[in-house]
Amino acid sequence: MVRQQGMLLMRLWDGLFNLYGAAVLLFLVVPVLIIVPLSFNGGSFLSYPLNGFSLRWYQAFFHSREWLGALGNSLLIAPLATLLATVLGVLASVGLVRGEFRGKSLVLAIIISPMIAPVVIVAVGMFFFFARINLLNSYLGLVLAHAMLGVPFVVITVTAVLKNYDLNLTRAAASLGAPPWQAFRRVTLPLIAPGVFSGALFAFAASFDEVVVTLFLASPSQRTLPIQMFAGIRENLDPTIAAAASLMVGAALILLLVMEMLRRRSSRIRGNAG
């Protein structure tokens, strides 16, 4: 009897916990998804109830020089920043995990500081530094700035994977005559690839969504998609913003699905290695 009551109480707690989790999920997701129906509104205002169904705002997005220019800037800056952040982040992770030197914790803290520090402080610091080296209002400056913001994501994910990596595999490759770079490229990198890709996806999302740093460093001709959305909200509440936001939500969902696939692949690799 006591055992049955205990099991009933546990089921009750599980049900309450699941209900609480669902409520938190709705609280986080609904404000994001509520913009999607507005992008199909036939009216000229962002308001409910919808005034019919229409694709006019998506047509306005893809026929607008400003919106397409902002999208092109984002699709130029974000991949380049992601590539640079991934290369630097992987190299830093390998050095932090395999290297033994004083101040390792301090170096790690400095590397991930852009993720922790208020973004306004980071943006102001970049503004004054880039002004001294003539990188303001340049694509190179934006790529470097966005890469710096993405490096911490790559370092965290790749470091977590490398800590579970079996160094005996690298030693075996070296014993067979493989140089260090070849051993890393043909043995280590394929095994840590899920962590590398996960960090790269985080870096891409951070660059694609960045607003504050871009506001400080970019010229009007270098507006990215988030900056164009911010300007549209501030200057003219154009419903095209809802279409742009829906496209960004769709891209974020695709990234999440890819990350989940990489997570499952990483779990299978660790299971096979074990």
Residues 139, 247 within the same domain: yes
Residues 91, 20 within the same domain: no
**Interval 114-139: pLDDT, tens:** 888 888 999 999 999 998 888 888 89
Question: In the prediction, which pLDDT does 267 show?
Answer: 66
Q: Is the pLDDT of residue 270 over 60?
A: no
**Can you give the length of the chain in residues?**
274
Q: Which of the four pLDDT bands, split at 50, 70 and 90, describes residue 272?
A: low
CATH of the domain at 262: 1.10.3720.10
Question: In the prediction, which pLDDT does 139 show?
Answer: 92
Question: In the prediction, which pLDDT does 271 show?
Answer: 59
Residues 27, 81 within the same domain: no
More confident residue, 71 or 251: 71
Q: Give the integer Cα–Cα distance in Å for 135 and 217.
A: 8
Q: Is residue 267 part of a domain?
A: yes
Computed on alpha carbons and rounded to an integer, the radius of gyration of the chain in Å comes to 23
Predicted TM-score of the model (pTM):
0.80
Question: In the prediction, which pLDDT does 147 show?
Answer: 93
Count of domains for the chain:
2
Contact 212, 127 (CB under 8 A): no
Residues 99, 216 within the same domain: yes
Half-sphere exposure of 104 (CA within 13 A, CB side): 12
Q: Is residue 46 part of a domain?
A: no
Q: Is the pLDDT of residue 3 over 80?
A: no
Report the DSSP beta bridge partners of residue 53. 41
**Interval 149-207: pLDDT, tens:** 999 999 998 888 888 777 777 778 777 777 777 888 787 888 888 888 888 988 998 89
Q: Which of the four pLDDT bands, split at 50, 70 and 90, describes residue 5?
A: low
Mark 9-23 as b/e (b = at least 16 C-beta within 10 Å).
eeeeeeeeeeeeeee
Q: Is residue 262 part of a domain?
A: yes
Q: Give the integer Cα–Cα distance in Å for 154 and 68.
A: 29
Q: What is the dihedral of CA 191, 197, 198, 203, to 10 degrees?
A: 140
Q: Is the pLDDT of residue 219 over 60?
A: yes
Secondary structure E strands in 146-238: none
Q: Is residue 42 part of a domain?
A: no
Residues 8, 110 within the same domain: no
**Structural domain of 260:** 66-273
Which among 214, 218, 211, 222 is positioned nearest to 70, based on CA atoms?
222
Q: Is the peptide bond before 118 cis (omega within 30 degrees of 0)?
A: no
Residues 21, 113 within the same domain: no
Residues 21, 109 within the same domain: no
Q: Is residue 126 part of a domain?
A: yes
Q: Is residue 217 part of a domain?
A: yes
Tokens of 176: 């067979």
Q: Which of the four pLDDT bands, split at 50, 70 and 90, describes residue 144?
A: very high
More confident residue, 54 or 74: 74
Q: What is the mean pLDDT of residues 30-48?
A: 77
Mean pLDDT (the chain, rounded): 83
Q: Which of the four pLDDT bands, split at 50, 70 and 90, describes residue 86?
A: very high
Question: In the prediction, which pLDDT does 242 show?
Answer: 83
**Interval 223-250: pLDDT, tens:** 898 888 887 777 667 778 888 888 888 8
Contact 195, 158 (CB under 8 A): yes
Any idea what DSSP says for residue 48?
A: S
Residues 75, 22 within the same domain: no
Tokens of 102: 């004083």
Residues 109, 184 within the same domain: yes
Tokens of 90: 């992987």
Residues 206, 269 within the same domain: yes
Q: Is residue 102 part of a domain?
A: yes
Tokens of 28: 């986080």
Question: In the prediction, which pLDDT does 85 show?
Answer: 94
Q: Is residue 14 part of a domain?
A: yes
Q: Give the integer Cα–Cα distance in Å for 213 and 49.
A: 36
Q: Give the integer Cα–Cα distance in Å for 240 and 45.
A: 10
Residues 95, 174 within the same domain: yes
Residues 102, 170 within the same domain: yes
